[in-house]
Structure 1
């Protein structure tokens, strides 16, 4: 295989021209063996050839990338598609195929020319495919010729490889069905030797069905029709490279590669077809020099020594070459080439005692973007390999060291470039629809999840698996925990993030399983700041989302983001200011990663660093890089300087007390309240109380009574007139745009809560309308949490460790404030409101409840 190694190194030299990324890129295996002559294109005759659809024409995307015009019939993703298992003979079957809509129950069109032309491997909805429409079912057809030098049938077999077909596929060779496959994001291989006829052209037909969001199949962000929101145009049919190669009857099918720093070795499992009784020989090299050898049986773990390993890191992504040979005695049966990096992912305690993510035993903050992997010209498929690489290169340019591949699985070459450029990859499982996965689809979802892990278990860059996002598809919290455990058993060498955004949306709640606590927060840009626990590190799984419109570079000609900005300078400033909060969240709360939304715009989402067409950088990337590198340097487990709160005012009366016995006077301080909207006094828990109508009435104390930058407590008796899906606030304090805190009834959860925007300490059960409850909310800045007490007993607590701003608005009884507007008016009666300049203890709160005041 010396020739193959030479070819790979030559290909590397051609491919290694990168943008300046500030990191060394090693000269390791660049798998690009020279392909055989291109496969024969379909030939048409007679009336079919005269039809208008028999010539391929590139469609016109709404906006084009820098690579759109480079795509044509002769160069549709010509690169070697399987970088971790390289042989020196192969043939690419990408290019122009025949195409037709398929009908239910239709016979296989063997021997028949189809009326349209499609460019494989671009999904049919894409402009690059030339079809540019959706079909639920479809036929693909072409012919190919096997090179005579491959000696198929004389000890060699012909393997046909499909990178991915979305979603159900059947494959026919010369009219004979040779394979079926279900799953839109994983590849499959077919031995077609026995279906070949003679030595001339062979007919290949593929049937595909993709009902997308009409079923329970994993689809990620795909929809049959884009909603001009957070979901995008679907991608059906063949969308990754199709290719073939000759292999020996006994041959290596895949390699499982796991570095082990503890023993300075690579754990290798080489699986093979008809490999019984054969020997595997593995040789590891560093820049051509042999650094380790090992032999063993197929299908068993072999330890390849790598003494004094050169560790792989984002700043030094060093990769070793690996040659694996299958032997029958001393006879070589099969040889493949691969590569690996020596690295280890885990957790370690920082100087502040909090559990954090560690690479190679050292704490390393993961500074990441959300990367959705969609393209305006190719949809699910990048137009070219250079385009595929571009997004990852820009991560390095902007100072990121990680990327979250968001509910999509990419072609192998994407992970190859992540390995070579040095990026830590958080790999999501593509979600099913947002509601619970139907019962009859759940086993399929889990099967595809485990197949994703199996196929990607050897990429150096991947450091975490994410089974669920924001509860999409989640059907049961216990099942989610079990699934996380199952993935961890399958791959104990990586982190498992059971549910990204467990605090959000359709989540069933924290299962307590996996290695990561992951929250999402877009309010004021975030970031989310959950605290780690004894066994799990914590991360901000999504935040940011600031947007900017760039004329002539928007998919729909318009769009939106979580917060729009008027120009690039403002967008850059918002980003830098927001990212400084990440440093605070890391130092004060202990988060180990922050994931900013997102690397590029996607359709109607305009919150990218780059426009969707990758033509315009929307921020000053030098400033972006500077703050990102600062975060990585400072978010290393060093604790922040959290000021200690003053002891506060003793006793159970508080700094302000509103008995509400016919007046809104402050019985403890000098902040008498003003009634707004004309509420009235009624018999209440202790004498009189104030009855509020749920739409316009509240009490304004006229001052910011509580120092929200320190510890405080708010307490009140309340009786709700209704307990439905509407929020109701009992006590709050106005902030600049959002209340500093809410002692409230959370309509979303239908439980009482002590809350910050996006963070809730929830009571355990739904309250009853018409019943009196004693509520106490505590902000404890030392422990970094919010606590809720109901009727004197602890009812809920949540991490809230970020330092809070000084007060800017008045303390309010009976409403809240959100996005600058008054909201969440109380519909019920409130009585005996106490405000404290300290965090009351459990004992004190129990005493306050017992007093009835």
Structure 2
């Protein structure tokens, strides 16, 4: 009945001549993010990132095309909707999954549409061309102007431009349509931490479509297409992309004062010396202005503005003989924060330029002098603020999925890597390139080395970190290439040692967390270790960073990267909540310890003292022949035929021998030796000799089930034998701790079998020496399933000659 009444009412109104009800045109409305930043409400249709987006190549005439565009889902094979209004409204350049876009959902394929008008004063077609610039579109895109396809592009992290002059029609409105497809982790494309659906873990909501500024500008027919600026301590090399046969003039200024100039052919490197050079550094990030003119037939046809800083990045040995990172020729510890560049309101796109700057300002305020931009590439203005504020940047290449890249995607990955380097070579702040993270996407160790070499050849002026977290996760192992050895360790820090040719860094550590009600993306989350309050979190951070200083002084790491500046979705390990509304630590204490590290981690403060001579002879400070007697050991197991006389068989589940005290001083050098015969050699760990620590054994002379080899180990560090041992065969094992060289050594049957860096000092002993088990996380573990015999302990590092003698004496 109600339906009939409604129809009759409408019919009556029409017959009476009433006006037809108008349907409201679609309008843009911001979505509601689960949590909002201080800048969320400052974003609207008329101020979507209005700043000039390309600070290193500026022009006076330009027009921002950010703002409200028409939007629609695109179907496979759908015709271009030329001349058709689309049914939704999106705010460009915020990715469509974000609240600020107004769409706030995922689509695999999409259409964007808007009209634009070319200002008549630009004189396009009268000597000038019209160029459209796209900061980034994720991932595949096609551009149409007035129904004509003018460009295609593949890649979600690099910018592109297109000359659309020939597609324009007369004056007045011109139609611009963008098609985009983003299948994210359903393909092998570079995606960083993006996923189609957040896993509430270490991967996050993806960002599709247009996510950086779109703008247009008039350019002369002969114009400057790009600048490459390579600084030294006294000059900058300028290379200008422009038509052959044109001439470049570059003028450097310090304020209103000209400090250098150079003129030469376009497309060739031009050295521009600087009078009385002022260097750029994190403490004094001085930047020069640069004016570049293009001349054709003696006439200036194009002008752009730019800037640069004078600095170098390199390495040299410190007073302790360890290779360390230098900035401007001086050793400088790179104290870094991990920055993933996600926002709860804009996802991949910061809501405003002030927000983009804010994160970097906090890094400086907390005493960091560097940032690792983690598997994401930011808009140009992020690097501009890093240049202005004085932060060293380690730039990651966005990874594909965590498994090996499919063969058909490998060339694309390399092409995008080299394009990232090309587009970002002129930023003063960037000091290192990082092609791979934790083996994600890595398909072959030799290929990783080749790729690192290719990046170094492309840009010799910076460090190349072939593989951040080479010790971790999906890594194929160390290629030996690049300028950096990089380990990850949570909670850490990691403590690799430099080689003669490569510096060492802690590539990720930390990760302490704190929940803050009403400021969590999912209302909950986790970290590597949670804390109950701000004071505890701060204390954990300070203690952890003190360990960073110890690692720098004893092991020679040149940089350390704490994880991370803000919470991200379910990760709650930030200095700030994901919405940037709450500070989670006492930043005064954070700044103090960070500055102490930078001040004291230069290799001049601490040297390892020589250890005491120790007890001479091959019997050692303890010797248990295990020939029908346990000696001072707590009885367990069964006497059986041993290697020499008798030995003790242990059952692999509960039996072990306990010395009743700590025999070895683990704060100094020591060695442990034993004969062992395994009854099994599978994926389970088995301990031959160890000494209990507070929660974990101070050391393990062991069979490593993970590697199926013998090892001399600390927790997370193993000097490994060369091959899997045979069940039922006797082996002579010697594990050596050498504090001066900072390493563990394993000898098997009198010969050196493996070494591992172990440079951090150990504490004084706290637990008993034991035979036949270990200790981990406070629990007894890794019981020996086999027979042990002839156990020796030494309060010094045995020499290779002594170890061979010991082995021979028992034969």
- TM norm. shorter chain > 0.5: yes
Match of 1:363 among 331, 336, 347: 331
Match of 2:711 among 738, 741, 753: 753
Whether contact under 8 Å (1:588, 1:639) holds in the other structure is no
Whether contact under 8 Å (1:546, 1:575) holds in the other structure is yes
Q: In the superposition, relative to structure 1, how do residues 48 and 331 fare at CA in structure 2: closer, same or farther (>3 Å)?
A: farther
User: Higher mean Cα deviation, 363-372 or 831-840?
Assistant: 831-840
Query: What does residue range 171-320 of structure 1 map to in structure 2 within 5 Å?
Result: 171-261=143-233, 264-272=234-242, 275-320=243-288
Helix, strand or coil at the partner of 1:463: strand
Residue 685 of structure 1: aligned partner? 643
Structure 2 CA distance for aligned equivalents of residues 587 and 218 of structure 1: 37
Query: What does residue range 534-553 of structure 1 map to in structure 2 within 5 Å?
Result: 534-553=500-519
Query: What does residue range 2-401 of structure 1 map to in structure 2 within 5 Å?
Result: 50=23, 54-261=26-233, 264-272=234-242, 275-401=243-369
> CA deviation digits over 1:292-327, x for unaligned, max 9?
011111110001110221000111000000000000
Structure 2 CA distance for aligned equivalents of residues 212 and 743 of structure 1: 46
Structure 2 CA distance for aligned equivalents of residues 233 and 659 of structure 1: 62
Structure 1 CA distance for aligned equivalents of residues 750 and 269 of structure 2: 58
Residue 564 of structure 2: aligned partner? 598
Query: What does residue range 511-530 of structure 1 map to in structure 2 within 5 Å?
Result: 511-522=479-490, 525-530=491-496
Residue 15 of structure 1: aligned partner? none
Whether contact under 8 Å (2:238, 2:272) holds in the other structure is yes
Whether contact under 8 Å (2:464, 2:482) holds in the other structure is yes
Listed as ranges, the gaps of 5+ residues in structure 2 are 1-19
Matched, 1:844 2:802: yes
Matched, 1:779 2:737: yes
- The structural deviation recorded for 1:521 is 1.6
Q: How many residues align?
A: 792
Q: In the superposition, relative to structure 1, how do residues 214 and 721 fare at CA in structure 2: closer, same or farther (>3 Å)?
A: farther
Residue 425 of structure 1: aligned partner? 393
Q: In the superposition, relative to structure 1, how do residues 48 and 579 fare at CA in structure 2: closer, same or farther (>3 Å)?
A: farther
User: Higher mean Cα deviation, 393-402 or 474-483?
Assistant: 474-483
Structure 2 CA distance for aligned equivalents of residues 415 and 788 of structure 1: 47
Structure 1 CA distance for aligned equivalents of residues 504 and 549 of structure 2: 14
Q: In the superposition, relative to structure 1, how do residues 187 and 828 fare at CA in structure 2: closer, same or farther (>3 Å)?
A: farther
> CA deviation digits over 1:424-472, x for unaligned, max 9?
0011111111111112211111111111100000000000111111111
Whether contact under 8 Å (2:252, 2:261) holds in the other structure is yes
Match of 2:407 among 417, 439, 444: 439
Structure 2 CA distance for aligned equivalents of residues 231 and 442 of structure 1: 22
Structure 1 CA distance for aligned equivalents of residues 344 and 510 of structure 2: 23
Structure 2 CA distance for aligned equivalents of residues 717 and 608 of structure 1: 49
Match of 1:833 among 754, 767, 791: 791
User: Higher mean Cα deviation, 62-71 or 683-692?
Assistant: 683-692
Structure 1 CA distance for aligned equivalents of residues 453 and 500 of structure 2: 17
Residue 505 of structure 1: aligned partner? 473
Helix, strand or coil at the partner of 1:532: coil
The alignment yields a C-alpha RMSD, in angstroms, of 1.8
Q: In the superposition, relative to structure 1, how do residues 432 and 687 fare at CA in structure 2: closer, same or farther (>3 Å)?
A: farther
Residue 382 of structure 2: aligned partner? 414
Whether contact under 8 Å (1:48, 1:115) holds in the other structure is no
Residue 601 of structure 2: aligned partner? 635
Whether contact under 8 Å (2:392, 2:429) holds in the other structure is yes
Q: In the superposition, relative to structure 1, how do residues 765 and 182 fare at CA in structure 2: closer, same or farther (>3 Å)?
A: farther
Instruction: State the TM-score, normalized to the length of structure 1.
Output: 0.90
- The structural deviation recorded for 1:49 is 9.4
Instruction: State the TM-score, normalized to the length of structure 2.
Output: 0.95
Structure 1 CA distance for aligned equivalents of residues 654 and 92 of structure 2: 61
User: Higher mean Cα deviation, 755-764 or 461-470?
Assistant: 755-764
Structure 2 CA distance for aligned equivalents of residues 664 and 221 of structure 1: 56
Whether contact under 8 Å (2:508, 2:562) holds in the other structure is yes
Matched, 1:742 2:710: no
Whether contact under 8 Å (2:71, 2:86) holds in the other structure is yes
Q: In the superposition, relative to structure 1, how do residues 519 and 380 fare at CA in structure 2: closer, same or farther (>3 Å)?
A: same
Matched, 1:482 2:450: yes
Structure 2 CA distance for aligned equivalents of residues 747 and 119 of structure 1: 55
- The structural deviation recorded for 1:663 is 4.6
Structure 2 CA distance for aligned equivalents of residues 637 and 217 of structure 1: 42
Helix, strand or coil at the partner of 2:224: strand
